[in-house]
Amino acid sequence: METKVIVGLGSCGIAAGARKVYDKIEAFKEAENLQFELKKTSCVGMCYREPLVEIIDDTGTYLYGEIDEERALELIEKHINQQSPVKEYVVQSDLFETVDNEFTEDQVKITLRNCGYIDPENIEEYEAKDGYRAIKKIAGYSMSRLDVIQTIVESGIRGRGGGGFPTGLKWKFANNNKSDEKYIICNADEGDPGAFMDRSVLEGDPHAVLEGMIIGAYAIEATGGVIYCRAEYPLAIKRLEIAIGQARAKGYLGKNILGIQGFTFDIYIKEGAGAFVCGEETALIASVEGQRGMPRKRPPFPAASGLWKKPTNINNVETLANIPWIIRHGAAEYAKYGTEKSKGTKVFALAGKIKRSGLVEVPMGMSIRDVIFKLGGGIQGGKKFKAVQMGGPSGGCIPEHLADTIVDYDSVNATGAIMGSGGMVVMDESTCMIDVAKFFLDFTQKESCGKCTFCRIGTKRMLEILTNITEGEGEEGDIERLEELSYQIKDNSLCGLGQTAPNPVLTTIKYFRDEYEAHIRDKKCPALVCTKLLTYEVDETNCTGCTVCAVNCPVDAISGARKEIHHIDQDICINCGVCFTKCKFEAIKIS
C-alpha cells in the first residue's frame, strides 16, 4: 500500500495554519520527489489539536496533532523517509493508546461518520464509504415512499435544529399534502453563536446531506431542493457547490434518478444575508423568496403552505446527514442508541473554558458531566466549573449542581435550558452570569425582526435593566421586573425567537440569584468581570514606575514620579479598567 499523508482542512484547521502545512508538505514532496500520496480531508472534531496530519502506512494509522510547518517536515523526514513514527506528536493511533483516547472512546459516530476520514471534494470517496447506497437501496428494493417514511418514524429521530420535532412525522404531513410542486429545504443557517456542527458536517461530508435531501425528496415527492446556508461559511458553500455538481454528473440529481420513473429532483444553494431570525422556518422561506426575513403566523405550517405557497419540508443539516445511515442500517439499529424519547446520537460543539474544545458525537443519555469532564477533559487552567450554556440565545445556563442531567430533549428542557442545536459553551468561576445574560439579550434584541411589540420593546427594556445592574445602577425590584417582562415576552411573541429570548435571563436568575443580588445590593461582581463594579489598586511589589498607567488614565486619577510606585486616587477613578489592560507588569490589582 502506498503511504498516505492526509491533512485536515476544515475551517478550524485552516485558521490554525493547516493550509500552510499542506503547501509545505506538497512543496517538499515535489522538491525531493518523495513517494507518498498527499490527500485532504476535513475536521475530525479534535479542534483543540489542530492542525492535524494523519499518516497511514502498512503498519497502521497515526494521527499527529499540533503540526506546524516545521513539525510537518520533521514528520515527513522521520516517519516517511526513516520509517520511524514520531510518537510524541501522535494523538490517536490504532496501535497504541494516547491521552486523547478519552476524547474518542465513548463517541458513536453516525452523523460524523465520514468527517475527517474522506476527501469531501471527491464523490468517489463518499461512495467508497457506502455513500449513495441508501438511495440505491430504495431504488433497488423498490422501497415505497411510505416504507421510507415508516423507517424514519420507527428510528425515532427528532429534528436536530432545535425544535426536536419527530422527523418521520414531519415527512408524513408533507407527503399527505398533494401538489404537483413541492420543496425540501435544508436549514444550514446555524445561527446559534457558539455552535459549529452544521458547518463541520457541510465541510466534511456534504454528500451525506445531499443524499439525505434526495431521500427526503423521494419520500415526500419533492420537485425542488434548497440549501439555505449562512454567508459566513464560504468553505461550506464551496464544497456544497462541488458536491452538487458531482452528484448531478453521476445522476443522483436530475431526471428519473437511479431509474426511479418520475423521480426528478435538483438542489440549489441560497446564501443567507446575515439575520439570525432567518433560521426560523417561516422567516427562512420569506428570505428564500427574496423578502425581508419576517416570521409569520402558523398554521398554515410549511408542510401545507411553504415556499411559493407549496407544501414544503424543512430539516436541519444534522438531521439530514443521519437519514442515509438510518435507511442503510434500519430503524432498529438507530433506535438502539439513546433514551426512551430521544433516540440516536447527538453532536455537541464544545467551546469556552474547556480543555478539549471541538466536536463530539455521543449517544443521547450521556450525562453533561461526562461530556464535559471525560470527553472534554474538564476546565482550562485548573479553574472551577461554574455552568454550561446550552441552546444559545434560546437556551439557558445549567449550573454545576445539575451537571448530572443527561442529554436528551426532555431532561435538558426540565432545567430551563434547551438542547438547541447542541452548542455547549462552558463557563468557569471567572465568568459573570449577569454578563452572560446581558450578552444574549443584547444579541436577541439586535436580531429581533421587530414585528411583535413585546419582543421588540420588551427585550430592549430587559437589556437596559441588565446593563444598569452590571454598571452598579441596579435597584431593588429589578429581578422581579426582569421576571415579569420575561413572562410577557414569552407569552406574546409570534415566533421562537421572542418566545425563548428570556430563557438565558430566567435560568441565570433561577440558579445564580445570589450573583444578581451581589451586583444590585453590594455593587459587587463576584467573578470580577463588570469593570464598573471593581476597585483598582497598584500592587506595590510589582510596580516599576513605568508611568504607562498614569499616561493612559483618562481622568488623571493616577499619580507618581517615574521609577516610583504609583498611586490611584479612588475618588477620581471611574473604574474604566484601562490601567489594568495597559500595565505590562501585572501591577494593577482588582477586587
Ligand X SMILES: Cc1cc2nc3c(=O)[nH]c(=O)nc-3n(C[C@H](O)[C@H](O)[C@H](O)COP(=O)(O)O)c2cc1C
Residue with cell 446581558: 438
CA angle 412, 416, 418 (to 5 degrees): 45
- Measured from the CB atom, the residue of 352 and 420 that comes closer to ligand X is 420
Q: State the amino acid at position 553 in one-letter form.
A: C
Rounded to the nearest whole angstrom, what is the least distance from the CB of residue 405 to ligand X in the complex? Answer: 21
User: Is 287 a residue that touches another protein (CB under 8 A)?
Assistant: yes
For residues 469, 473, 477, 480, the Cα torsion angle rounded to the nearest 10 degrees is: -20
Distance CA 204, CA 10 (A): 7
Specify the DSSP element, H or E, that contains 314.
strand 312-316
Output the CA–CA distances (angstroms, integers) from residue 291 to 273, 276, 284, 285, 517, in the order listed. Answer: 11, 15, 10, 9, 45
User: Is 14 a residue that touches another protein (CB under 8 A)?
Assistant: yes
| Contact of residue 524 among another protein, ligand X, ligand FES, none (CB under 5-8 Å per partner type) | none
| Contact of residue 550 among ligand X, another protein, ligand FES, none (CB under 5-8 Å per partner type) | none
Rounded to the nearest whole angstrom, what is the least distance from the CB of residue 351 to ligand FES in the complex? Answer: 7
Distance CA 560, CA 487 (A): 53
DSSP state of 406: B
| Contact of residue 292 among another protein, ligand X, ligand FES, none (CB under 5-8 Å per partner type) | another protein
Please check whether residue 529 is in contact with residue 513, taking contact to mean a CB–CB distance below 8 angstroms: no
Check residue 314 and give left, alpha or beta (phi > 0: left; psi -120 to 50: alpha). beta
- Measured from the CB atom, the residue of 212 and 391 that comes closer to ligand FES is 391
| Contact of residue 368 among another protein, ligand FES, ligand X, none (CB under 5-8 Å per partner type) | none
| Contact of residue 449 among another protein, ligand FES, ligand X, none (CB under 5-8 Å per partner type) | another protein
- Measured from the CB atom, the residue of 89 and 233 that comes closer to another protein is 233
Please check whether residue 159 is in contact with residue 293, taking contact to mean a CB–CB distance below 8 angstroms: no
Radius of gyration in angstroms for the set of CA atoms belonging to the chain, rounded to a whole number = 27
- Measured from the CB atom, the residue of 375 and 425 that comes closer to another protein is 425
User: Is 189 a residue that touches ligand X (CB under 6 A)?
Assistant: yes
Rounded to the nearest whole angstrom, what is the least distance from the CB of residue 10 to ligand FES in the complex? Answer: 13
Distance CA 65, CA 51 (A): 6
- Measured from the CB atom, the residue of 81 and 453 that comes closer to another protein is 453
Distance CA 130, CA 260 (A): 20
Stretch near another protein under the rule CB under 8 A, chosen from 25-33, 331-339, 347-355, 411-419:
347-355
Q: State the amino acid at position 507 in one-letter form.
A: T
| Nearest to 215, CA basis, from 129, 321, 316, 121 | 321
Specify the DSSP element, H or E, that contains 271.
strand 266-271
Stretch near ligand X under the rule CB under 6 A, chosen from 62-70, 120-128, 314-322, 342-350:
314-322
Where in 112-171 is the site for ligand X (CB under 6 A)?
A: 159-163, 165, 167
User: Is 194 a residue that touches another protein (CB under 8 A)?
Assistant: yes
Please check whether residue 247 is in contact with residue 120, taking contact to mean a CB–CB distance below 8 angstroms: no
Phi, psi of 398 (to 5 degrees): -100, 120
Rounded to the nearest whole angstrom, what is the least distance from the CB of residue 392 to ligand FES in the complex? Answer: 10
Q: Among 41, 316, 459, 508, indicate the residue that binds ligand X (CB under 6 A).
A: 316
- Residues with Cβ < 8 Å from 347, sequence gap 6 or more? 111, 112, 160, 197, 201, 318, 359, 360, 361, 422
Q: State the amino acid at position 105 in one-letter form.
A: E
| Contact of residue 587 among ligand FES, ligand X, another protein, none (CB under 5-8 Å per partner type) | none
Where in 193-222 is the site for ligand FES (CB under 6 A)?
A: 193-194
User: Is 116 a residue that touches ligand FES (CB under 6 A)?
Assistant: no
User: Is 361 a residue that touches ligand X (CB under 6 A)?
Assistant: no
What would the x/- binding string for ligand FES be over residues 159 to 198, using CB under 6 A? Answer: ----------------------------------xx----
Distance CA 414, CA 396 (A): 11
Rounded to the nearest whole angstrom, what is the least distance from the CB of residue 157 to ligand X in the complex? Answer: 9
User: Is 347 a residue that touches ligand X (CB under 6 A)?
Assistant: no
Number of residues that bind ligand FES (CB under 6 A): 2
User: Is 140 a residue that touches another protein (CB under 8 A)?
Assistant: no
| Contact of residue 349 among ligand FES, another protein, ligand X, none (CB under 5-8 Å per partner type) | another protein
| Contact of residue 238 among another protein, ligand X, ligand FES, none (CB under 5-8 Å per partner type) | none
Please check whether residue 390 is in contact with residue 417, taking contact to mean a CB–CB distance below 8 angstroms: yes
Output the CA–CA distances (angstroms, integers) from residue 87 to 23, 36, 62, 500, in the order listed. Answer: 23, 20, 9, 49
- Measured from the CB atom, the residue of 339 and 448 that comes closer to another protein is 448
User: Is 422 a residue that touches ligand FES (CB under 6 A)?
Assistant: no
Stretch near ligand X under the rule CB under 6 A, chosen from 311-319, 381-389, 554-562, 565-573:
311-319
Q: Among 64, 126, 196, 385, indicate the residue that binds another protein (CB under 8 A).
A: 196
Q: State the amino acid at position 500 in one-letter form.
A: T
**Buried-state track 262-288, b at ≥16 Cβ within 10 A, e below 16:** ebebbbebbebeebbbbbbbbbbbbbb
Q: Among 12, 25, 525, 558, indicate the residue that binds another protein (CB under 8 A).
A: 12
Q: Which residues contact ligand X by CB under 6 A?
A: 159-163, 165, 167, 187, 189-191, 277, 279-281, 314-316, 319, 495-497
Q: Which residues bind ligand FES (CB under 6 A)?
A: 193-194
Which spans of this chain sit near another protein (rule: CB under 8 A)? Answer: 11-12, 14-16, 47-48, 50, 190-196, 199, 231-234, 270-271, 273-277, 287-293, 308, 349-353, 357-358, 389, 392, 423, 425, 427, 431, 436, 439-440, 443, 445-450, 456, 581
